[in-house]
Homo-oligomer: A and B are copies of this chain.
Amino acid sequence: MAVTIKDIAEKVGVSVTTISRVLNNRGYLSDDLKKKVHEAMEEMNYQPNELARSLSRKKSNVIGLIIPDISHPFFGQITKHIEYYAYKHGYKLMLCNSLLNKKKEKEYIDLLRASQVDGIIMGSHTMSVKEYTSIKLPLVTLDRQISKSIPCISSDNYSGGVLATKLLLSKKCRKIAYLSGNLRLNLLAKQRHDAFIEQVSGKDVGFVVKQTDLNGFKYKEYENLVRELFEEHPDIDGVFASSDILALQVIKECRRLGKAVPEHVKVVGYDGIQIGGTDDLSTVEQPVKKMGELAVKYLLRQIAGEDMPLETILPVKLLEKGTT
């Protein structure tokens, strides 16, 4: 059996309360006593039981993170930053991959609640608004606005859409495609689409929109999507892909078809993930780090009962590189 606060108390010859006090550095304690207690802890290799502490305090210092797929670079990166800030503030992270599966997402929410997490960061969204508002737990959503009453951290998808489209227009593209992967992945991404439509409408350019709304992230599907695009519209000379991963597929397909990028086809991606191979890609960069930081920050504020902005829209940045 592991050594407990009681063992330390006996060893030092004081009450458990006192040990608890030095553990939490609360109340008045003589330096001498503190030292003795710490020595005893050291000696007996004591580790406080966080479960017991959490139960008693009614605070676990754990936050749940629900995302669609940790293996997707965008979520991988944002998770990295979320973990960083959470750790910095003494919080642990419980990772939940929903795979955009409604049942699993729901089960995870219950599981997180049962596990007494102090709050949840939601980067997945498959359920109805009502279900979310009934979660009754500090909550912050990432890049998807569920309801006006739930704080949401996102980047400026609309501007991003404008920037990307304008870039292609300024490069004299004559027929532009908007390509998007799984829509449910990111509802706010719809704004990119809207921005695209607004920008190309009424101008003397052709345009096509192609999206897939498949479940999960099948890169194979992306490949088909791109292939179809060029088969149906061989005269495309500009592509706005709603993720860098998708943009890479486009570039690959162009290579296969012998279309030079950017000479014949200009490509602009979205996300700004810094994975090898994307660094020459023109793209709209989302402030992943800031998004992760604020998600944690606002969640912690909410946990602390303080208030925070309900809507945070961070600026995006156009990175013009070699593919346009």
> Does A303 reach chain B (CB closer than 8 Å)?
no
| Contact status A278-B277, CB under 8 Å | yes
Residues of chain B lying within 8 A (CB to CB) of residue A60: 51
Stretch at the interface among A7-15, A199-207, A248-256: A248-256
| Contact status B111-A83, CB under 8 Å | no
Known: A92-B94, A97-B84. A276 touches B111 (CB 8 A): no
| Contact status A277-B279, CB under 8 Å | no
| Contact status B275-A219, CB under 8 Å | yes
Stretch at the interface among A32-40, A113-121, A164-172: A113-121
Give the oligomeric copy count.
2
Q: How large is the interface on A (under 10, 10 to 19, 20 to 34, 35 or more residues)?
A: 35 or more
Known: A47-B110, A97-B83. A219 touches B279 (CB 8 A): yes
Which chain B residue shows the least CB distance to A84?
Answer: B97
Tell me the minimal C-beta distance from A303 to chain B in angstroms.
16
Instruction: Specify which of B70, B247, B280 is in contact with A252 (CB 8 Å cutoff).
Output: B280
Between A and B, 28 residue pairs with Cβ closer than 8 Å are A47-B110, A47-B113, A47-B114, A49-B114, A51-B116, A55-B55, A65-B95, A69-B80, A70-B80, A70-B83, A71-B73, A71-B80, A72-B76, A73-B76, A79-B95, A83-B96, A92-B115, A94-B94, A219-B274, A222-B276, A223-B279, A245-B277, A246-B276, A248-B276, A248-B277, A249-B276, A252-B276, A252-B279
